[in-house]
Amino acid sequence: QVQLVESGGGLVQTGGSLRLSCAASGRTFRVTVMGWFRQAPGKEREFVALMRNDGDTYYADIVKGRFTISRDNDKNMVYLQMNSLKPEDTAVYYCAARLDPVLPSTQITRSYAYNYRGQGTQVTVSS
């Protein structure tokens, strides 16, 4: 099993920045892809960003150029740096871990492609 705990959410004004953290524990050596998803009230969960074991990253168009996913393998941490935040970025943000074989990034942008998910951290962007 893999346990994931997110932190770093909060309230920020439009144009501000936040850095989310995801602490992974357990069988992290089996993780092939780490992803970030978000879900706003009344909306479906949507893909934000992912990082494959080979370091390749992939972003949703709506965050490309504003968000950056990174990792610290020594600390088993994954981060999501969010800049130029907009009110429409308001959501609960989740990190997720995939243990199954890697697929092309375009095929692993759905949350069901991941085996584990954290409890989420709330991000609120005020206008």
Q: What mean pLDDT is predicted for residues 17-46?
A: 96
Query: What would the pLDDT profile of 58-103 be if each residue is shown by its tens digit?
Result: 999 999 999 999 999 999 999 999 999 999 999 999 999 999 998 8
Please name every residue paired with 80 in a beta bridge, in sequence order, or none if there are none: 20, 69
How big is the chain, counted in residues? 127
Distance CA 49, CA 47 (A): 6
Q: Is the pLDDT of residue 113 over 90?
A: yes
Judge contact between 18 and 10, C-beta under 8 A.
yes
